[in-house]
Structure 1
Amino acid sequence: MPPFDAPEGDPFDVPEGHPFGPHNLPYGVFSPAGSDTRTVGVRLGDHVLDAAAAAQALGSPYGALLAHPTLTPFLAAGRTAWSDVRRALTAWVTVPSHRETIAPFFHPLPSVTLHLPFEVADYVDFYASENHARNVGKIFRPDSEDPLTPNWKHLPIGYHGRSGTVVVSGTEVVRPSGQRKAPTDPAPVFGPSIRLDIEAEVGFVVGKPSAMGTPVDLSSYRDHVFGLCLLNDWSARDLQAWEYVPLGPFLGKSFATSVSAWITPLDALDAARVTPPPRTHDLLPYLDDATEDPGGYDLRITISINGHPVSEPPFSTMYWTAAQQLAHMTVNGASLRTGDLYGSGTVSGPAPAQRGSLLELTWNGRDPLDLPTGKRTFLEDGDEVTLTAWAPGPDGTKVGLGEVTGRIAAGD
């Protein structure tokens, strides 16, 4: 997305075509300059509106719901509240008669400190891109007749991660240490990961909880999921390769997961909904979305390393949708909690320049990337990775997603 320079003094003067115009209005949590107080904010252009202060000044019944240092109470309020507040916010920032009242509650974006916007309850990561799964299968099982595992076309594969290491964009990522063992090594060694990687993903944020023992069906997805954000699930490939058999990822994945400071509500993305790729296998009834509304999203992601774009993964190619992932996650009776976060899994398209991890982009280190800062197979200390994205919006607009940035710091 091109940069926009809105006049700092006028938050309502949002340039035409700005991806954070009034058609978007993502939510976050911020502290104003010179203050440690956290409050719910809504982004308009290159400004942040103190949502609670604006609501109270205009006599909104949702003022108390927004007056918290986290989005969690608002997420728990459910879809009616989400829709009502969005309608109200849209009116506040577009109807001229409100301008004088709410203008004092805007803050220039560069002046505020952004925080993790909600309290993360549980974290689940999926493996929903067929292109990514096939690439990984070809890398690690080159002699296999089918790169996909036998279950891949029948259910969305996932694993449970660590909610305590989900961090907001801009947080440094310390290089993790652990055991690693190359196939030719006689024994494992302990030390910092030397194959540190990224995974460009989309995260989905649960608002309304569900009762234990009650699965959430496909049609109830929008009643429970508030919105989405960009997500980078950092991966220590060498630690992961040694530890993951037979129970799956552990230390190689649990050290850090970065998310955007801005959560885009699903209602802002109605124009970006698309039909997922054709199903090649019959699905069991609880996953069969043939008669459901289109469950995919046309999100255009860009991965940059040290400011240099290296890939543009298209989210529209994801085989399993967020609604299917939610249905599968709860079909055994597992409950949802407000603040549950689930990642889509690495987003990769069919072309080499659309791959969502360095594992794929360098084909496990065989083909280094040639960057202005030097060749890379995996990340080096000091490297900074940024994910950005946009989606088609109403009337030809673009809906921007908040970026996710993380810089690698040396470990012990």
Structure 2
Amino acid sequence: MIVAKSARFFFPKLDRSESTFLGDYLRRETVGGTIALIAAAIAVAWANSPISDAYTAFQDFQLGPLDMKHWAADGALTLFFFVAGLELKREFVVGSLRKPVDAAVPVVAAICGVAVPAAIYLAINASYDGGDLGGWAIPAATDIAFALAVLAVVGSHLPTPLRAFLLTLAVVDDLIVIVIIAIFFTSSLALLPLAISGLAFVAWALMQHFRVHLPIAYIVVALVAWWFMHESGIHATIAGVVLGLLTRVKPDETESHSPAERLEHKLSPLSAGVAVPFFALLSAGVAFGGGAELVSDPVVVGVVLGLVVGKPLGVFLGAFVVTRVTRAELNKELYWRDIVGVAVVAGVGFTVSLLVAELSFTGDTREAAKAAVLVGSLISAAVGALILGHRDRFHFTP
């Protein structure tokens, strides 16, 4: 009896109402971003503490076929990208990307928001003797979760179309960066594992088509697709995106919600509350040192300026130009000053930028690039919050 009571104490079973409350709580945009930020802060503090060796040992701890660092980057982030894939599919089929005329402004803004930071990074590193051009994709990414969290914290009275603009922008941005990861960060390709992963994708699509409702079947197929994608040499997170894009988003007449809606509802709390914070804990632990050398490092300068200057410049100019040379228009409820705020917030790279930094470099250069991602993302979040906070008061009408 004592053992039973102890087990109940350490592993309490949530009733349905508690479970629903926890899931709804983790679905809040501000909560997921806060948890990941806390995890990143713990990682940085741990990596710069007297017990930093324990942090390195934790990263390198082997658990089954992968160490903890790779479980975070290749495993946990696959869930994050699966949810992103579901969002992408939904936006393409029934959402804001369904009509080209409605999507034109944020789509072009996203494309320019990827190109300009990359160009700034390349220009800076090409002008330095010790520059490294390999990190050009690092400042190109926008973190959906953190960007929306900033908007949710400071923009309670901002118009709804502004959130839709940022969401569309971030979704297209993620799609571009996913393609970049698949093309530019695949050093070698093993065809047999890739073929097996492809067969798993076909199986997933067929199960969706024939309305298979066996969760265990989908779990097995997803694991096969993920592992063999990893073994093929292509980054494993691509499997999550593909599976998300293959999931049905239109409900049948007998369904109240589509499979994509149900999966996104169930998995968003795990992605926001577990997967992304776990990745942040394992990847954000940068040992800050070097002082002036770090500040003058062309990789650091390129990443920070790419996020803080390049992102807002690219997003704003892309949106502005497309409304001047085509029939596309800015939503009637939005002002160009609102777009400036969103463009600055788009410089919050964090999760995806950290992943690209991991893939781009090794050793001290990788640590410097990750430090630059953290600094650039924090600056973008702070400046964006100030701008949007001011606009929030402007839109508020008591």
Q: Same fold (TM over 0.5)?
A: no
- The structure that is strand-richer by fraction is 1
TM, length-normalised to structure 2: 0.25
- The structure that is helix-richer by fraction is 2
TM, length-normalised to structure 1: 0.24
Structure scoring higher RCO (CA < 8 A, sep ≥ 6) equals 2
